Amino acid sequence: MELQEAKDKFIQAWGTFGSQWGINRTMTQIHALLLVSAAPLSADDIMEQLQISRGNVNMNVRDLIDWGLVYKVLKPGERREFFSAEKDIWKVFRQVVKQRRKRELEPVFGILEEVLKVQGDPKDPEYKAFVEPVRDIQKIASRADSTLETLTKADENWFFTMLVKLFK
C-alpha cells in the first residue's frame, strides 16, 4: 500500500469513528490529517487535501483548538497560520475524556441530583420504579466519573502500571 493511500484510509476511518461517537466527521478528519502530517499545514493545505471549503476548515480547526487537540504554529517570515496536532496520543486521549466529562457528564449529574429531589411515598411502586434506577445510575456514573478524573490527571506510566496491577 502507498503512503498516500494509507493516509486516506486512516483519515476516512477516523472520520467514521468520530461521527459514530457524536463528533463532527470533518473535525475528526482534519484531526487525523494533522496527526499524520510531518509538517504543520495551512488552511489551504487542509482545504485541498480534504476537498472542503475555507469556512469549514476555519470552524473545525477552531473547535479542535478549543478541545486542546490542535495548535497554531507560526512560521517565521510567513504571514499565514499553520496548524499542527498534538502527537502524544495519550495526551489526546486524556484531553478528549477531560473535555467530554466537563461538557456532557457534568450536566447529567446535575439533572440526576435534581430529579432525585422528587417527592413521594417510598412505599409507592411508581415512586420506587423511578427512584431506584435513577439512584443506581447516579451511583455507577459517579464511580465511572471519578475513575475518569483520576485517569485525566494521571500520566501514561501510571495508567500502564495500573493495568499491569489489575490483570496480573
Partner DNA sequence: AATATTTTTCAATAAATTTTGAAAGTATAA
Partner DNA sequence: TTATACTTTCAAAATTTATTGAAAAATATT
Minimum distance, C-beta of residue 17 to a copy of itself, in the bound complex (Å): 5
Burial of 35 per CB tally in 10 Å (0-12, 13-18, 19+): buried
By the rule CB under 8 A, 150 interacts with a copy of itself: yes
- Beta bridge partners of residue 85, listed in sequence order: 70
Minimum distance, C-beta of residue 83 to DNA, in the bound complex (Å): 9
Cell 495526551, residue?
A: 91
What character string, x for contact with a copy of itself (CB under 8 A) and - otherwise, covers 58-87? Answer: -----------------------------x
Minimum distance, C-beta of residue 11 to DNA, in the bound complex (Å): 13
Q: Which residue, among 37, 43, 14, has the nearest Cα to 27 in the 3D structure?
A: 14
Q: Which is nearer to a copy of itself, 58 or 137 (CB)?
A: 137
What b-and-e string marks burial along 131-147, b requiring 16 or more CB atoms within 10 Å of the CB? beebeeebeeeeeeeee
Q: Which residue, among 117, 115, 96, has the nearest Cα to 105 in the 3D structure?
A: 96
Q: How many helices and strands in the chain, by DSSP H and E? A: 8, 3
Rg (CA), the chain: 21
Among 19, 24, 99, 152, binds a copy of itself (CB under 8 A): 19
Minimum distance, C-beta of residue 59 to a copy of itself, in the bound complex (Å): 19
Residues that bind a copy of itself (CB under 8 A): 1-3, 5-7, 9-10, 13, 17, 19-22, 35-38, 87, 89-90, 93, 104, 107-108, 111-112, 114-120, 125-130, 132-134, 136-137, 140, 143, 146-147, 150, 160, 162-163, 165-167
